[in-house]
Structure 1
Amino acid sequence: MTLDPALREAYESITTATITTILLKKGLRNVGLRGPKPLRSWGRLVGPAFTLRFVPAREDLATPASWSSPTSTRAAIEEMPEGVITVVDALGVQDAGIFGDILCARMRKRGVTALVTDGVLRDREGVEDSGLPVWCSGIAAPPSVAGLTFVGWQQPIACGGVAVFPDDLIVADKDGAVVVPKDLIEEVAALGIEQERQEAWIMKEVQNGAKLPGLYPMNEETRARYEAETKKGG
C-alpha cells in the first residue's frame, strides 16, 4: 500500500491522542500499542504497517545460523517498500534485542519510515546513528535468538497487545504509537483535522479565561459560536 500524500500530510497534523479519541467514539478501544516509546524525539511519523512476527525461542530454530535462512529478519528487510512503518511483534520480550545497528541502517537505506516494536533493540549508539526513527520498549545486549524465533512477515500480528494487520496505518509521536484500521484511514483523517481545529479554538478560549463547563466538550451555544467564528475566519 502506498499512502496518498494528502493523507500523510493530514495525519502528520493529528496527534495520537486525537486519533485514539476518535476511534474510541467509533467503538475501538484497543488501538494504542503498549510498550513502544520513542528512543529519542523524532516528531510525528506516519506510514502503512509492514508487519514482522516472532514467537518464543525454540532451541533447534533460534540459532545464529537462522540469520541466513530464507525466513529471516534479513530477508524480510529486503521486502520492505519505501515509506512503510515496520511493526514487530516481539512478544514484549525484554532481554533479546530484535534488531541492531546494521539491520536498522539497511532499513533506513531502503526508505523505511520508522520501526515500532513491543520488544527491545541492541547496539543503541549505532541504531541512533543509523537515522532510523525507533519506537521500542528498551535496550538489551543479547541477540534476538537468545529469546525469540523469527517466523514471518506481512501477517496479522499482536504488537503491544494490539492487533495490527498489514496496510493498517501507524501513527507514532511523543505519546507512543497507534494503529488506524485500513478501512477507516480516510474517515479518521477528516474527523481528526476537524477535532484538532476545534481544540485549537478551545485552547484559545481557555487562554482568554473561559471556564470549561459548556466549552470542553462544547454545548450547543458554544458550538454555534465556534462555527460562526471559524466560518468568518475568526
Structure 2
Amino acid sequence: MGVDPIPLDPEIIRLLSGVTTATLTTVLLKKGLRNVWLRGAMPLRPSQPRLVGRAFTLRFVPAREDLATPASWGAPISTRAAIEAMPEGCITVVSAMGVTDAGIFGDILCARMQKRGVTALVTDGVVRDVAGVLGTDLPIWCQGAAAPPSVAGLTFVGWQEPIGCGGVAVFPNDVVVVDGDGAVLIPAALLDDVIAASVEQERLEAWIMEEVNAGAALPGLYPPNEENRKRYEAWAAKTG
C-alpha cells in the first residue's frame, strides 16, 4: 500500500547518529525549513539512544462509529497489516492527530514491530499497556500513555502515504532522527546537503565548547568572527 520503502545507507546512519536533533533544526533553519520538529513526540523511556531511519508512515483519522470497531483490527487495512509491511531499520511515524485519550499501539503490536527490526516508533499520539510496551524494548517517542484502545478515538486508514505528525509534513522515505530532544524530519531530497552541513556544525561547536571550557568569552566566538574562524580552520586541519 502506498510508496515502497527505500533502505538507508549505513554510512548515513553512522554520520547522523553523531548529530543532535538540536543541530539538525539549526541546519534546516538555515536552509529555510522551520517546521521540522514533531511536536509531542518525546522519549517514552529516559535515556533512549539517538536513532536514525527512513520514515514508514501510518495515518489515523477521527473515529467513525461504523469503521472504528474491534472488528476492524482484522481488516486488510489495519495496523496489523501495516506492521507486516514495515521493513527492518525503518522508523515508524504515526499520525494520531495529537489524540491523547486513545492508545494507538499496545504491547503485542510493539513486540511484533521489535521482532521485525523496526528501529523506533514516533507518534504525536499515545500508546497503551505502557508497562508491557516498555518491556518490548522498542524505542518509542510519543505523548505518553492512555488505557483506551485506538478505536475509542481514531480510525486507521492507511500506510506509506504523506501524513501530518506533530504539525510536520512527513512523506514516506524522508529521514527521521530521534534523541532526548524529540524527533526531527529531514526531507529526503535535502539529505546529502543536511548531512554535510550538520557534521561540520557539530565539529565547529565541539571546538567552540573547548574554547568556552578554557575561559573564552562568547562574543566573536559563537558565532565565530573572521579571526576565530581562521583559528577553527587551523584546528580542524590539524586534527583531521
Give the TM-score normalised by structure 1.
0.99
- Superposition RMSD in Å: 0.8
Alignment partner of 1:118 is 2:124? yes
Alignment partner of 1:24 is 2:29? yes
1:135-194 deviation line (CA, Å, top 9, x unaligned): 000100000000000000001000000000000000000000000000111111111111
1:88-140 deviation line (CA, Å, top 9, x unaligned): 00000010000000000000000000000000000011101101000000100
Match of 1:228 in 2: 234
Amino acid at match of 1:56: P
Amino acid at match of 1:44: R
What displacement does 1:30 show? 0.1
* Matched position secondary structure for 1:80: coil
Give, in whole Å, the separation in 1 of the partners of 2:181 and 2:230: 32
Of the three residues 131, 134, 138, the one matched with 1:132 is 138
Match of 2:158 in 1: 152
Match of 2:179 in 1: 173
Give, in whole Å, the separation in 2 of the partners of 1:82 and 1:186: 22
Unaligned runs of 5+ in 1: none
Match of 2:40 in 1: 35
Match of 1:70 in 2: 76
- Percent same amino acid at aligned positions? 71
Amino acid at match of 2:237: K
1:2-52 deviation line (CA, Å, top 9, x unaligned): 111111000000000000000000000000000010011211000000000
What displacement does 1:224 show? 0.5
Give the TM-score normalised by structure 2.
0.96
Unaligned runs of 5+ in 2: 1-5
1:86-105 superposed matches below 5 A: 86-105=92-111
Match of 1:210 in 2: 216
Give, in whole Å, the separation in 2 of the partners of 1:19 and 1:210: 25
What displacement does 1:233 show? 2.0
Match of 2:3 in 1: none
Runs ≥4 in structure 1, deviation > 4 angstroms? none
Match of 2:56 in 1: 50
Give, in whole Å, the separation in 2 of the partners of 1:232 and 1:86: 41
Amino acid at match of 2:166: G
Give, in whole Å, the separation in 2 of the partners of 1:25 and 1:36: 23
* Matched position secondary structure for 1:61: coil
Deviates more, 1:222-231 or 1:79-88: 222-231
Amino acid at match of 2:89: G
